[in-house]
């Protein structure tokens, strides 16, 4: 009986570990285009008695970004004046995992994205209009491996993952921008709501857990997306001519940026219900590890507290995680740094962030 209970707790712990792991091409946090890494739970295979087979997860992620920041300073006048940008971002991640044995597994993650962006400045500057983007995002294939034998490491283990992100999502999605009430121009929508980023990327992951008892455990995740491509060639002019300043400082086309995620926390289980409490850090850096850094991007990070609940019955887990932002920071881009050096005055763009994100989904073994 104790062994069965421990196996069940390990199963729940792995699900809690990974359900909110978020960026193929939607990790989007407002105007900072941190795109969704999945929000999936593929690793119940740690249960040594169920070492092969298939599993599937469906994660739904939503947020509304509307508060503008320059650095860590909120630009409250933007909301007060009604000049703020409002993004509504929804992603459904469908992930299917094949477990070959109790250590090796392969996963495919397919995001379906529906984003809306409302603004004044992208249109006539006086009236608020919407642009939209919808479609499949960047598909990701990932292989996973447990470092320690699950049969001998029941209380804790470390899993590593290596994957490839394909440029399957549309990265030049277009919609109409209003010049006046009656005239429009067709152009690429803002980078933050594009379904894809236009680059082939490579991902690395580390997932770990440790259970102190059959009720209490801790978990941690690290995810990094390497995007070697520097720019995707899509104009930032929204169907209009770009400025000479944008051309000079290489913000006339969109960049293809790296991004990464770190999570850590603890969970407590009573019967079939697991409560989780953790922290979450998502970042789109100003500079990439590989490749160049030119092109338009809004780099920044979000630090959040992340409560969650997971309910598990037999082969199915239903979960909800809601990261709540504590720190939001729109850092300087490479373009900002170059302009600052040329002008002798600090230049730093702004970005809109969300207060919280909702992740709700289901995971089941087939």
> How much of the chain, in percent, has pLDDT values that exceed 90?
85
Indicate left, alpha or beta for 314 from its phi (over 0: left) and psi (-120 to 50: alpha): left
pLDDT for 366: 86
Query: Cα angle vertex 204, ends 209, 96, to 5°?
Result: 75
DSSP for 300-351 reads: EEEEEEEEEEEEEETTEEEEEE--EEEEEEBPPPHHHHHHHHHHSS-----E
What is the reported pTM?
0.90
Determine the pLDDT at residue 40: 38
Backbone angles phi, psi at 182, to 5 degrees: -115, -10
Pairing of strands 140-146, 184-188: unpaired
Q: Which residues of the chain have pLDDT under 70?
A: 1-30, 32-50
What domains appear along the chain, each with residue ranges and CATH number? Answer: 2-365 (2.40.128.130)
What pLDDT digit, counting tens, does each position of 294-334 carry?
Answer: 999 999 999 999 999 999 999 999 999 999 999 999 999 99
pLDDT in tens, 30-71: 676 665 554 434 334 345 555 789 999 999 999 999 999 999
């Amino acid at each position: 009986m104790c062994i069965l209970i421990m196996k069940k707790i390990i199963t729940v712990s792995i699900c809690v570990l990974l359900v909110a792991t978020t960026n193929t091409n939607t990790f989007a946090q407002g105007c900072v285009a941190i795109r969704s890494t999945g929000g999936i739970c593929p690793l119940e295979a740690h249960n040594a008695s169920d070492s092969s087979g298939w599993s599937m997860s469906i994660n739904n992620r939503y947020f509304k970004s509307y508060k503008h920041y320059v650095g860590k300073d909120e630009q409250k006048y933007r909301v007060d004046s009604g000049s703020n940008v409002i993004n509504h971002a929804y992603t459904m991640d469908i992930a299917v995992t094949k477990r070959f044995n109790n250590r090796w597994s392969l996963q495919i993650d397919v995001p379906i994205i529906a984003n809306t962006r409302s603004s004044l400045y992208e249109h006539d500057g006086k009236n608020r209009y919407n642009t939209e983007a919808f479609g499949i995002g960047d598909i990701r294939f990932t292989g996973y491996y447990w470092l320690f034998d699950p049969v001998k490491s029941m209380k804790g283990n470390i899993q590593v993952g290596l994957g490839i992100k394909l440029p399957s999502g549309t990265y030049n999605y277009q919609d109409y921008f209003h010049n006046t009430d009656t005239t429009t121009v067709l152009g690429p929508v803002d980078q933050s709501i594009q379904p894809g980023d236009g680059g082939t990327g490579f991902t690395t992951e580390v997932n770990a857990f440790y259970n102190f008892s059959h009720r209490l455990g801790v978990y941690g995740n690290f995810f990094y997306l390497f995007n070697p491509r520097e720019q995707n060639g899509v104009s930032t002019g929204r169907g209009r001519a770009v400025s000479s300043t944008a051309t000079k400082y290489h913000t006339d086309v969109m960049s293809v940026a790296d991004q990464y995620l770190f999570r850590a926390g603890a969970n407590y289980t009573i019967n079939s219900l697991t409560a989780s409490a953790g922290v979450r850090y998502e970042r789109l850096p100003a500079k990439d590890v590989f490749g160049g850094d030119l092109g338009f991007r809004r780099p920044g990070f979000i630090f959040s507290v992340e409560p969650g609940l997971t309910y598990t019955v037999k082969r199915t887990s239903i979960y909800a995680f809601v990261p709540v932002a504590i720190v939001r920071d729109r850092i300087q881009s490479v373009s900002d740094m170059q302009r600052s050096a040329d002008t002798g005055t600090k230049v730093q763009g702004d970005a809109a962030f969300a207060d919280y994100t909702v992740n709700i989904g289901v995971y089941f073994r087939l």
